Structure 1
Amino acid sequence: MENFVVSARKYRPSNFRSVVGQSHITTTLKNAIKNNHLAQAFLFCGPRGVGKTTCARILAKTINCEHLTEDFEACNQCDSCKAFNQNASFNVHELDAASNNSVDDIRNLVEQVRYAPQKGRYKVYIIDEVHMLSNQAFNAFLKTLEEPPKYAIFILATTEKHKIIPTILSRCQIFDFNRIQIGDITEHLKYISSEESITYEEEALRLIATKADGALRDALSIYDLIVTYSAGNKLTYQETIQNLHILDYDYYFKVVSSLLGESISEVLLLFDEILKKGFDGHNFIIGLCEHLRDLLVCKDPATVQLLQVSEGTRERYLEQAEQASISFLLSALSIGSQCDIQFKSSKNQRLHVELALMKMAKLPAALSMAAVAETVTKKKVTA
């Protein structure tokens, strides 16, 4: 029986071209290799799971490649690339600063830097979670980082740039990694699904990408979980929301329809049904606010692109947005936002959410009365 390999490892990018959602980083690094403008110290910073360590490893492999391709990617055929792919390269050293953060650990690293590579052009030192180094370790590292040998290149990776002392920052070329866009993660999950012969519903993949909050590694972990849960290598939207315990967006469409219809009883019954399914009232009100926000961006063709959903769901949003006025959406968002802020301090949290929903249900009537009053006032003024 063949051992299972998680998607985050199996489909880890092996060259700059396969890195997802960080084109500004990969283009800069490839140009640096092309023009021989490599800095001797890099700092890769950004949220977790966006490709910092992956890009560091790809850079280390590429600059030691003996036969670069025409677009300055590693060939994966030379001795250096083969050694790297087998984790047997003597020119690449990785240090986890989370568990090796003392002065002695840095002194050992500095001692290694003194020796030139026996084969290849560069010795590359990748220090992950560099913000975990102690101040004494940082100070021990300073001189070497400022004046390293020509063959030494340091790549530091961190999720918390603000914890790194300014004297280290000033000696590094800083690259800020972005959270990966939902669309990019979805496309990558589609590619993996096709490679693994897994049928899928696009809405399910998009939901996984949204849940990952910009971290591709998190998205791949969730994806593996859902595929394991699903029967027959088929990934469906319903199974995804059940496994992740996410409230189906159909409920939000029903709630807003009830609010527009001014039906307090209907909206209260819907909320009761949601609670009986085990969903939290706070998460519901946050989700409702997000739904109202999405309806608001659908009111203007210029902002529809901010809606990151599938085409079928987009049509539903556009249809419901036509039924709601901007005044209603803004007022409902205001009520929902206040409910969110005050939720934790409320003694009766269910009643707190129900009161917010009742206020929203009476908004159409209140806005209509306000519009009539404004019209009467204008007539008196003109008369």
Structure 2
Amino acid sequence: MAYQVIARKWRPQTFEEVTGQEAITRTLRNAVEHDRVHHAYLFSGARGVGKTTTARLLAKALNCRKTVQPNAKPCAATDETVCESCLEISESRSIDVLEIDAASHTGIDDIRETILESINFNPARDRFKVFIIDEVHQLSKAAFNALLKTLEEPPPRVVFIMATTELHKVPDTILSRCQEFEFRTISTDKIFKQLRKISEAEKIE
């Protein structure tokens, strides 16, 4: 239980805090800064390399209320002046940022209920409605086909961020409509440095 608490506490709150994926986070920051955000992203890589964390950071950047436009440096949840949108996304309770676990919601009915029935409505409070689909490769063929139609004609103010550990199982028709980022395995040296930083801060001997 203590591990879970520490892991949650030290989860990166800004793009700069993401370890080992500097090229990806720099590209995403630039996209936000220059208003070149794609309507669909696909993050691939092993477990634990930062795919879901980066997806949440991108959702925060798109919806941060500290600036009139999307903010490449969104609020950290620990900031005294954290905006409501960034705080809600950090705590997984935003009504405009929906996280879907495709491992347990594989069918077309799941996609229809969580995405298709709400996608044509404007965001309730934020700038963008963001759908984060984890383990997207586990969707059924029918679910992929339903999702494909939306990716072909995406509504405005909607962004899809999909994550997978098995890229080869994602249909080419989906891949061709996404901007793809491959998350590299984090080096042992970087892992060690981050663990040392955390252990020193937490006074763990």
What TM-score does the superposition give when structure 2 sets the normalisation length?
0.91
- CA drift of 1:141 comes to 0.9
Which one of 109, 132, 143 corresponds to residue 126 of structure 1?
Answer: 132
Deviations 1:256-280 (A, max 9, x none): xxxxxxxxxxxxxxxxxxxxxxxxx
Letter in 2 for 1:101: T
Percent identity between the two aligned chains: 50
Correspondence for 1:34: 33
CA distance in 1, matches of 2:149, 2:140: 16
Correspondence for 1:183: 189
- CA drift of 1:106 comes to 1.1
3-state SS in 2 of match to 1:113: coil
Q: What pairs up with 1:148-159 in 2 under 5 angstroms?
A: 148-159=154-165
Correspondence for 1:54: 53
Aligned positions, number? 196
Correspondence for 1:106: 111
- CA drift of 1:78 comes to 1.4
- Do the aligned residues in 1 keep the contact of 2:13 with 2:75 (CA within 8 Å)? no
Identify the structure with the greater helix proportion. Answer: 1
Correspondence for 1:360: none
Structure 1 unmatched ranges of 5 or more:
199-233, 235-383
Correspondence for 1:96: 101
- CA drift of 1:11 comes to 1.0
Correspondence for 2:22: 23
CA distance in 1, matches of 2:135, 2:91: 24
3-state SS in 2 of match to 1:136: helix
Correspondence for 1:4: 2
- CA drift of 1:88 comes to 2.2
Correspondence for 2:171: 165
CA distance in 2, matches of 1:49, 1:87: 18
Letter in 1 for 2:117: E
Correspondence for 1:75: 75
Q: What pairs up with 1:236-275 in 2 under 5 angstroms?
A: none
Structure 2 unmatched ranges of 5 or more:
77-81
Letter in 1 for 2:35: N
Correspondence for 1:63: 62
CA distance in 1, matches of 2:93, 2:130: 14
Correspondence for 1:115: 121
- CA drift of 1:107 comes to 1.3
Question: If you compute each CA radius of gyration, which structure gives the higher value, 1 or 2?
Answer: 1
- CA drift of 1:85 comes to 2.8
- Do the aligned residues in 1 keep the contact of 2:56 with 2:90 (CA within 8 Å)? no
- CA drift of 1:66 comes to 1.2
Q: What pairs up with 1:165-314 in 2 under 5 angstroms?
A: 165-198=171-204, 234=205
3-state SS in 2 of match to 1:156: strand
3-state SS in 1 of match to 2:151: helix
Correspondence for 2:79: none
Identify the structure with the greater strand proportion. Answer: 2
Deviations 1:78-129 (A, max 9, x none): 1211222333211100100001000111112111111111212100000000
- CA drift of 1:136 comes to 1.0
Over 6 Å off, 4+ runs: none
- CA drift of 1:5 comes to 4.9
CA distance in 2, matches of 1:183, 1:16: 20
Which one of 84, 89, 98 corresponds to residue 84 of structure 1?
Answer: 89
Letter in 2 for 1:47: A
CA distance in 2, matches of 1:99, 1:163: 16
Which one of 129, 141, 145 corresponds to residue 147 of structure 2?
Answer: 141
